[in-house]
């Protein structure tokens, strides 16, 4: 008797569990869509450790300032932005883990970062699968809209920089150039673009060398390039310290030719720490347009407002900040706000579609125009870039333009 009663109780309990499970399963399956109430969670993927921790820190400072500005103006669709920061350590594998955590666990609806093309390439399948929009910091020309449908890079495109560098070399009547770049994906991409643009421009590439980020002795590479007797070196670095080591190696070889650099070659504080301020006498580099001016010219008012604002926000970090990269990071938050409000959605597809078709009406807080389109997912294009002399500042954070 007792046994059959226990059996009936057990059967009833199992039945109740089954009914409850069935009831739960009638709920719509989650598509990882976070709530539209409450704060807007935005993931920030930057390296805070590893070789790229310094630019990672600059971007973090800029984004945090940008979030402060956006929240002070009411947030995004009246939702305050809440930043969820993860450290990618500059490792593409770690970046994938971080992206999964941000999207599946933290339920972020937008991602700023990661900051290398290698990491972005690794993360793209995760972001694309979940339809999450992002603003990474990448420069590889291989990250086309078809590969990166919901992502728009805040960095100057390596291909655009290469074109600007070769055009400058042409204007200076150089006919023989050497190419030196780092071994990251962006550096390799830039190498291909530089070679192609040089060939189109009728320049002879006398040598092509690469180095690893963090190398302190680049003498062998420099001597190998010097052997070809170029009139200028086209240098595509990631880090200013590496530029310092390149210039030091050239100085040790008594090799004094102009160096035309990509974006990383304008980090003058880092360069000077290695090879001294005088080493930049013959150095030109690409930079965001609001941070270049001719002597006697005033920086744009938006640039000045940004400089005073971020100095007040991060007084201890200000002196070491790459100000134009921080400014682009601030703008990434502003552009995210404009895109989401314009699209009326946090959906990656709708955000991307809106930005592609309305870029002419989008403006960053500091960078006045956005150049993205259906054929290019780079927010800032050739018209948003200038060549500057890193060794000469016309005012704090604003460099002398090379075309003055």
Per CB under 8 A, residues contacting other proteins are 47-54, 56-57, 183, 208-212, 214-217, 219-221, 223-224, 239, 241, 244, 251-254, 270, 273-274, 320
The minimum distance between CB 180 and other proteins, in angstroms, equals 8
Helix (H, G, I), strand (E, B) or coil at 85: strand
Alpha carbon separation from 237 to 134, 189, 234, 327 (Å, rounded): 24, 12, 10, 20
The minimum distance between CB 226 and other proteins, in angstroms, equals 8
* C-beta of 19 vs 220, nearer to other proteins: 220
* C-beta of 212 vs 374, nearer to other proteins: 212
* C-beta of 242 vs 356, nearer to other proteins: 242
* C-beta of 149 vs 207, nearer to other proteins: 207
The minimum distance between CB 58 and other proteins, in angstroms, equals 10
The minimum distance between CB 123 and other proteins, in angstroms, equals 21
What's 138's DSSP letter? -
The minimum distance between CB 281 and other proteins, in angstroms, equals 18
The minimum distance between CB 274 and other proteins, in angstroms, equals 5
The minimum distance between CB 397 and other proteins, in angstroms, equals 18
Enumerate the β-bridge partners of residue 386.
287
Query: Cα-Cα-Cα-Cα dihedral of 141, 145, 148, 152, to 10°?
Result: 80
Q: Residue 50: exposed, middle, or buried by beta-carbon count in 10 A (0-12, 13-18, 19+)? A: middle
- Identify whether 114 is preceded by a cis peptide bond (ω within 30 of 0): yes
Contact 46, 115 (CB under 8 A): yes
* C-beta of 140 vs 270, nearer to other proteins: 270
Three-point CA angle 69, 52, 242, nearest 5°: 120
Helix (H, G, I), strand (E, B) or coil at 127: helix
Q: Is 310 left (phi over 0), alpha (psi -120 to 50) or beta?
A: alpha
* C-beta of 207 vs 290, nearer to other proteins: 207
The minimum distance between CB 242 and other proteins, in angstroms, equals 9
d(CA 44, CA 38): 19
d(CA 145, CA 397): 32
R_g of the chain computed on alpha carbons: 25
* C-beta of 216 vs 308, nearer to other proteins: 216
* C-beta of 183 vs 298, nearer to other proteins: 183
* C-beta of 224 vs 353, nearer to other proteins: 224
The minimum distance between CB 321 and other proteins, in angstroms, equals 12
Contact 265, 399 (CB under 8 A): no
Cβ neighbours of residue 312 under 8 Å, at least 6 residues apart?
none
């Amino acid at each position: 008797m007792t046994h059959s009663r226990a059996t009936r109780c057990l059967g009833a309990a199992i039945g109740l569990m089954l009914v409850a499970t069935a009831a739960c399963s009638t709920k719509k399956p989650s598509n990882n869509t976070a709530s539209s109430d409450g704060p807007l969670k935005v993931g920030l993927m930057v390296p805070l450790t590893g070789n790229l921790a310094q630019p990672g820190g600059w971007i973090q400072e800029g984004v945090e300032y940008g979030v402060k500005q956006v929240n002070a103006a009411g947030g995004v669709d009246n939702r305050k932005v809440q930043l969820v920061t993860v450290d990618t350590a500059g490792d593409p594998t770690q970046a994938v883990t971080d992206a999964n955590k941000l999207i599946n666990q933290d339920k972020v609806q937008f991602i700023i970062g990661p900051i290398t093309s290698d990491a972005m390439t690794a993360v793209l399948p995760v972001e694309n699968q979940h339809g999450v929009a992002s603003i990474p910091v990448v420069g590889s020309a291989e990250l086309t809209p078809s590969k990166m449908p919901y992502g728009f890079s805040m960095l100057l495109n390596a291909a655009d920089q290469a074109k600007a560098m070769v055009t400058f070399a042409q204007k200076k009547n150089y006919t023989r150039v050497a190419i030196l770049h780092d071994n990251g994906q962006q550096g390799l991409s830039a190498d291909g673009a530089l070679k192609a643009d040089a060939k189109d421009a009728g320049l002879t590439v006398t040598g092509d060398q690469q180095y690893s980020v963090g190398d302190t002795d680049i003498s062998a590479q420099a001597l190998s390039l010097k052997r070809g007797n170029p009139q200028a070196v086209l240098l595509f670095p990631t880090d200013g310290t590496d530029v310092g080591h390149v210039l030091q190696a050239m100085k040790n070889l008594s090799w004094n030719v102009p160096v035309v650099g990509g974006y990383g070659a304008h980090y003058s504080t880092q360069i000077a720490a290695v090879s001294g301020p005088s080493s930049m006498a013959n150095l030109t580099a690409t930079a965001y347009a609001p941070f270049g001016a001719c002597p006697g010219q005033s920086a744009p008012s938006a640039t000045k407002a940004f400089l005073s604002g971020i100095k007040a926000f991060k007084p201890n970090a200000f002196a070491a900040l790459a100000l134009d990269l921080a400014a682009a990071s601030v703008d990434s938050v502003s552009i995210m706000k404009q895109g989401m409000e314009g699209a009326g959605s946090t959906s990656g597809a709708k955000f991307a579609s809106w930005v592609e078709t309305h870029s002419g009406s989008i403006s960053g807080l500091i960078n006045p125009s956005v150049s993205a389109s259906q054929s290019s997912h780079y927010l800032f294009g050739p018209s948003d870039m200038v060549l500057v002399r890193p060794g000469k500042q016309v005012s704090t954070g604003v460099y002398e333009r090379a075309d003055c």
